[in-house]
Each structure stands twice: as structure tokens, then as C-alpha cells.
Amino acid sequence: MIGPILPLLIGFGIDCVLGDPHSLPHPVVLIGKTISALECVLRRIFPKTPRGERAAGAVLWLIVAFLAAAVPALLLCLCGRVSSWLRLAVESVMCWQILAAKSLRDESMKVYHELEHGSIESARRAVSMIVGRDTAALDDVGVTRAAVETVAENTSDGVVAPLLYLAIGGAPLGFFYKAVNTMDSMLGYVEPPYKDIGLVPAKADDIANYLPARISALLMLAAGGLLRMDVKNGWKIFRRDRYKHASPNSAQTESVCAGLLDVRLAGDAWYHGVLHKKEYIGDALRQIEHEDIPRACRLMYGTTLLALLLGCAVRLLIFSL
């Protein structure tokens, strides 16, 4: 009975120990290069009109999503013909490459250490590696808030959602999800030149994350209870603020995190030199502080462990049917 969940458990274990070594090639980097190459080709092929660029984005999405699922599925099939142990080893490595819990913790804790022991300039540089907003003008509170927000948001699309997709469809579906998420990260902007070509990738990512984001939020509430955080306020802020974001999904876990920590997140932010007006999420029951970054990381790992248990249960159920 444990066979179906072994790749997931081994992959998660490797991620906890090794994280994402920058010295090793990563499939998501290859996905990103494929997206960039196709974008250049399709922009030349399709008319330079809003309708033409939206069509180009749709074709790009179909090609990348298909390749992201088909290539690992074919590789695992070939490995299975050689040896079941080889297939287990390869799929375990794939699961490791799809998960990003340790990487998320390590990168956010770099921000914490720079805030504690470095300078505001070094803290800005560290946080710029994990957020999409402009960071040059952020003060101490702004850097801290940005780090907490990215841990809260990426708990869903960087850890829990991939776990759930892996549980349902193994590594092929996991890589499909990572491709969908990467296309949104690279193309899903509202400003030119991505406004039209990124429309389909952005909407597809919203659909792919709709259920995982809400499951993540509920698991985060449960994890907050285990960590003795303010669950009552977490539930209150979740119900009130979970749609205070341009994305239907991003504020789901962000609102829970803000409530559990009793802090206020979000608010106006600059992206590519353009000010984006955003509502606040949560109530400032206290001022956000550096220690909220490791608190958010502990909350992320608590949520991840609960998601792993849920994912294993789902996978065993699928294989028992």
C-alpha cells in the first residue's frame, strides 16, 4: 500500500534536506527557456494586435503545458520498462524538483538575517530575489512585510498546490502544474508587452490554483492552531479579506497568515515603475517585526506537513479504487 506514495515521500524528504541546489540543472529553468523561445517565435507569427497576441498566448500555453506533462510521462514509462526501482528513483527526483518548501524558507530567512545583521540595502537585495515588486525604496517594515507576504502566498502555489497535483497525477501532473505556474509568473502581467499574450496563462493559473489555494488556507488555519497562533483572528481575517487581491487566489493564504500573526499585510506596491493600488489585508493589532518572517516559515512548514498527509491519503485512495 505504501508504494504509490513512496515517490512523494522520498521527494519531500530530499527537498527538506537539500532544497534547490543552484549548481544543479532544474527542469523549471528549461520550462522557462521554452516559454521565452516560444514567445519570441509566436510574436513573429501572430498579428501584433490584441486578438493576435491573445491567440499567441493560447498556443504557447497549449504547447508548454503538453510538453511539461508528456515528457516526464514518457520518461517514466521508459524507466518502468527497464526497472520499477529505476522508475521509483526517477519519479522521486522529479517530485523533489517540483517542491520548493526549503528553498522558500531559505530565501526568506536570508531577508531575515540581513534585516537583523546586515543593512537595509542588503535586505532589499535579498527580498528582491523572492518578490516581483520594486524594492529599491522599501523601508525596514516594507521589506519585512514583503517577505512575510511571499512566504504566505507561495505556501500555496510553491508547496501545497504542487503536493496536491503530485498526489493526484504523479510527476507528470506535477510538472504540468509547474509549467502553468511558470507561464503565469513570466507572462501574466497587466502591463504591456504582456497584457494580451499573458491573458490565457494568467487565467489558466487562476483556474489551476482555485481549489488548492482554498485548501491551503484551511490547512494553514489548522497549522496555526497546532502552533498556538491566533486561530480565531485567522478565521476572521480569512473570511473578510480573502478576496482583497487582483487574483482570486493570492489572498486566500495571505489573509490567514495576516490573521494568525495579528499583523496587516499588502497595501500599495510598485511594479516595474507603476504604482498598483491595493487594499490592506488583516488588522494591525501589532506592528509587523523581523521575527514574523521565521514565524511565517514555521507556519508554512506546518501547513506543508498537513498537505503531505492529505496528499498521501488522496493518492492511496486513488490507487485503491
pLDDT > 70 fraction of the chain, expressed in percent and rounded: 99
Instruction: Quote the Cα angle for 107-69-34, to 5°.
Output: 65
Q: Write down the pLDDT at residue 21.
A: 81
Q: What is the mean pLDDT of the chain?
A: 93
Q: What is the rounded (10 degree) CA torsion for 46, 49, 54, 56?
A: 10
Give the tens place of pLDDT for each residue, 21-53.
Answer: 877 788 999 999 999 999 999 999 999 999 999
> How many residues make up the chain in this entry?
321
Q: Any idea where the domains of the chain sit in the sequence?
A: 3-320
Mean pLDDT of 293-305: 97
Q: Write down the pLDDT at residue 191.
A: 79
* Confidence bin at 274 (pLDDT 50/70/90): confident
SS3 sequence, the chain?
Answer: CCHHHHHHHHHHHHHHHHCCCCCCCCHHHHHHHHHHHHHHHHHHHCCCCHHHHHHHHHHHHHHHHHHHHHHHHHHHHHHHHHCHHHHHHHHHHHHHHHCCHHHHHHHHHHHHHHHHHCCHHHHHHHHHCCCCCCCCCCCHHHHHHHHHHHHHHHHHHHHHHHHHHHHHHHHHHHHHHHHHHHHHHHHCCCCCCCCCCCHHHHHHHHHHHHHHHHHHHHHHHHHHHHCCCCHHHHHHHHHHHCCCCCCCCHHHHHHHHHHHHCCCEECCEEECCEEECCCEECCCCCCCCCCHHHHHHHHHHHHHHHHHHHHHHHHHHHHHC
* Confidence bin at 1 (pLDDT 50/70/90): low
Give the tens place of pLDDT for each residue, 127-183.
Answer: 999 887 888 888 999 999 999 999 999 999 999 999 999 999 999 999 999 999 999
Mean pLDDT of 303-307: 97
Q: Is the dihedral of CA 29, 247, 256, 173 positive or negative?
A: negative
Which of the residue ranges 17-31, 52-66, 77-91, 223-237 would you say has the lowest mean pLDDT? 17-31
Q: What angle do helix axes 101-117 and 6-18 make, rounded to 10 degrees?
A: 20
Give the tens place of pLDDT for each residue, 97-138.
Answer: 999 999 999 999 999 999 999 889 999 999 999 887 888 888
The model carries a pTM of: 0.92
